[in-house]
Amino acid sequence: MVGVIAVGSAIAAGELVAGFVGADASPLIAIGSAAINLTPGWLKNFATNTFGTADKLVLLSGMGVVLLAVAIGSGLASRRTATPGTVVALVLGALGVAAVMARSDLGQLGLLAPLASLLAGVIVFRSLHRLALRWAAADAAEAGSPAGRPPAEDRRRFLITSAGVAVGAGLAGFGGQALAGTGDVEGSRNAVGRLVPARTISPVTAGADFAADGTPTFITSNTDFYRIDTALTVPMLSTQDWSLRIHGMVDREITLRYSDIRNRPLVEAPVTLTCVSDPVGGQYISTSNFIGVPLRDVLMEAGVHEQADQLLSTSVDGFTVGTPVDVLLDENRGALLAIGMNREPLPIEHGFPARMVVPGLYGYVSATKWVTDMELTTWDRAQAYWVPRGYAQQAPIKTESRIDRPRPSATVPAGRVVVAGIAWAQSKGIAKVEVRVDNGSWQPAQLSSEVSKNTWRMWRAALDLRPGGHTVQARATDDTGYTQTAAVQGEIPDGATGYPSVRFTCR
Ligand SMILES: Nc1nc2c(c(=O)[nH]1)N[C@H]1C(S)=C(S)[C@@H](COP(=O)(O)O)O[C@H]1N2
Ligand SMILES: [Mo]
């Protein structure tokens, strides 16, 4: 019990001080983030594929279980003297200090949180331990000689102090969470208001989806948009605090404030974002009407040197992305420094106040959220976050398709069966989708109207099927004439391939 209360107090003290000096200074969160950054690529991939977007909850729960076990263990090991528990409290505290120090986005004040945590852990453990020993000694004395001091008093003191510390820790922890809350950033986001574009590129037309036949809606709502990032807690950055520095191989370094972006004529364009970790048939793909300013214009203002071939962008939490400069400067590509999705300011978890959006490139090489720094450099001089973790340095989105209906293992009436899904080849465009049943011959599917080469396209095909089990497959062909490969490949290093395949039953 002493061990558990001490560890709880240490965490609570860290949270409370982090509430004042910045949520990211929380030693618990810093250790969790360090764990994410140290996780090898294959394991991180396993975690996202197994737990999806709940992977962070799983990590935090796992940390909780480990901490509880360590707390109980060090309490049990300290039956005689307080030394083992004190050592554990010091080691845990030092881990917190090291994890917070390793963060590049925190000032020196940030260290106060893990230091408070370390002190609280050691002090609470030693104080409660002393009271517990006194009670145990009084107990033993009473057993030995009836004339001894009554143990009831020592027991009462220990229990009351423990309860007081536990309640205090609880209040401190929740207080810290409330202080660090989203309040001011949510307010900053509300203050931006609705974003109205001066120009809409490729407006979404009717007939762009076959939602009635089971495809997603053409535009994904902001709440349904898939989310992938390494951030254990969402970075909280107000428009006031945000700025973007563009430097490196440029003629003139520039720093943009939020108003510098907001006050320009904004452009809006639908773009389908895709994650490299999307398995065949997966859900890490969504489409939004992104609003912002052309990234090309911003880079031209800085004057990009001829030799610069990589843009290394960094988010406020230190995550980095490497993007080919020629793609960003290509007028036809439409790369955006985006501040909005579907006419709203970016949701905080999707990069508020500003992020990059580059059609045709997987998210990890293009879509930096909470972006605050852009350095013009070269491919051989800098490696972005995922590259040393086994992913390709350059990763254009592959031409792929997905079957949305029927669902795997579904049972549908025999006869006319409508198969429907999506296909994508951002920046190239979808020319054709074909389906086949039970390895039969490929037959063309009907395509929805094309909105943009940078978005997904929906397809459907009506089949005539006899009762029994069937397997349907699909394949897409893009506007360059390339047909998606049947070769099965995993997500690492540059995106999964293989025909999507759904097995179902007709009755
Ligand atoms: N700051 C930051 N930006 C990031 C990431 C990240 O981990 N941190 N992940 C990238 C990846 S892998 C993808 S697929 C997209 C996902 O963007 P979304 O969460 O808005 O869908 O964001 C990209 N931008
Ligand atoms: Mo991704």
- 60-89, pLDDT tens digit by residue? 888 889 899 999 999 999 998 999 999 999
Which band of pLDDT confidence, cut at 50, 70 and 90, is reported for residue 42? confident
* Ligand showing the shortest atom-to-Cα distance for residue 228: 1
What integer is the mean pLDDT of 186-194? 91
* Ligand showing the shortest atom-to-Cα distance for residue 230: 1
228 lines ligand 1 (CB under 6 A): yes
Task: Give the tens place of pLDDT for each residue, 264-299.
Answer: 999 999 999 999 999 999 999 999 999 999 999 999
Residue 179 vs residue 348, higher pLDDT: 348
Task: Assess whether the previous peptide bond of 493 is cis (omega < 30° from 0).
Answer: yes
The C-alpha atoms of residue 47 and residue 41 are separated, in whole angstroms, by 10
Tokens of 120: 């609280």
Residue ID of nearest Cα to ligand 1 atom 15: 363
| Ligand 1 centroid from CA 227, angstroms | 7
229 lines ligand 1 (CB under 6 A): yes
pLDDT reported for residue 145: 56
What integer is the mean pLDDT of 362-379? 98
Tokens of 172: 């401190």
369 lines ligand 1 (CB under 6 A): yes
CA atoms within 13 A on the CB side of 88: 25
pLDDT reported for residue 147: 53
The C-alpha atoms of residue 133 and residue 203 are separated, in whole angstroms, by 74
**Which residues, including other chains, have CB under 8 Å from residue 334's CB and lie 6 or more apart?**
201, 269, 271, 294, 359, 454
pLDDT reported for residue 34: 84
Atom of ligand 1 nearest to the CA of 286: 21
Residue ID of nearest Cα to ligand 1 atom 10: 364
Q: For 158, list phi and psi in degrees, rounded to 5.
A: -60, -50
Rounded to the nearest 5 degrees, what angle is found at the Cα of 338, between the Cα atoms of 335 and 341?
115
The C-alpha atoms of residue 507 and residue 466 are separated, in whole angstroms, by 8
What integer is the mean pLDDT of 342-351? 97
Whether the Cβ atoms of residue 378 and residue 308 lie closer than 8 Å to each other: yes
373 lines ligand 1 (CB under 6 A): no
Task: Give the tens place of pLDDT for each residue, 109-133.
Answer: 888 999 999 999 999 999 999 999 8
Which band of pLDDT confidence, cut at 50, 70 and 90, is reported for residue 181? low
What integer is the mean pLDDT of 135-159? 78
The C-alpha atoms of residue 225 and residue 219 are separated, in whole angstroms, by 9
Which band of pLDDT confidence, cut at 50, 70 and 90, is reported for residue 106? low
Residue 227 vs residue 20, higher pLDDT: 227
Asked if the model's pLDDT at residue 242 lies above 70, the reply is yes
pTM of full prediction above 0.85: no
Mean pLDDT lowest for which of 140-154, 198-212, 237-251?
A: 140-154
273 lines ligand 1 (CB under 6 A): yes
The C-alpha atoms of residue 454 and residue 448 are separated, in whole angstroms, by 14
pLDDT reported for residue 58: 84
Whether the Cβ atoms of residue 356 and residue 328 lie closer than 8 Å to each other: no
Asked if the model's pLDDT at residue 246 lies above 90, the reply is yes
* Ligand showing the shortest atom-to-Cα distance for residue 348: 1
Q: Residue 506 forms beta bridges with which residues?
A: 412, 468
Pocket test for ligand 1, best of 229, 244, 284 (most atoms within 8 A of CB): 229
The C-alpha atoms of residue 371 and residue 397 are separated, in whole angstroms, by 21
Asked if the model's pLDDT at residue 52 lies above 90, the reply is no
pLDDT reported for residue 153: 87
pLDDT > 70: percent of the chain:
97
Which band of pLDDT confidence, cut at 50, 70 and 90, is reported for residue 104? low
The C-alpha atoms of residue 229 and residue 60 are separated, in whole angstroms, by 15
* Ligand showing the shortest atom-to-Cα distance for residue 373: 1
Which band of pLDDT confidence, cut at 50, 70 and 90, is reported for residue 212? very high
225 lines ligand 1 (CB under 6 A): yes
pLDDT reported for residue 105: 61
Atom of ligand 1 nearest to the CA of 228: 19
* Sequence-ordered alpha helix ranges (H) in 248-359: 258-262, 295-302, 325-329
What integer is the mean pLDDT of 320-341? 98
Asked if the model's pLDDT at residue 149 lies above 70, the reply is no
The C-alpha atoms of residue 326 and residue 361 are separated, in whole angstroms, by 13
The C-alpha atoms of residue 225 and residue 217 are separated, in whole angstroms, by 11
Which band of pLDDT confidence, cut at 50, 70 and 90, is reported for residue 54? confident
pLDDT reported for residue 20: 82
Residue 255 vs residue 53, higher pLDDT: 255
pLDDT reported for residue 31: 87
| Ligand 2 centroid from CA 187, angstroms | 28
Residue ID of nearest Cα to ligand 1 atom 4: 368
**Which residues, including other chains, have CB under 8 Å from residue 259's CB and lie 6 or more apart?**
239
Query: What's the mean pLDDT when you consider all of the chain?
Result: 93
Asked if the model's pLDDT at residue 26 lies above 90, the reply is no
Asked if the model's pLDDT at residue 248 lies above 90, the reply is yes
Residue 145 vs residue 414, higher pLDDT: 414
**Among candidates 291, 290, 288, which has minimal Cα distance to 221?**
288
- In eight-state DSSP terms, residue 416 is E
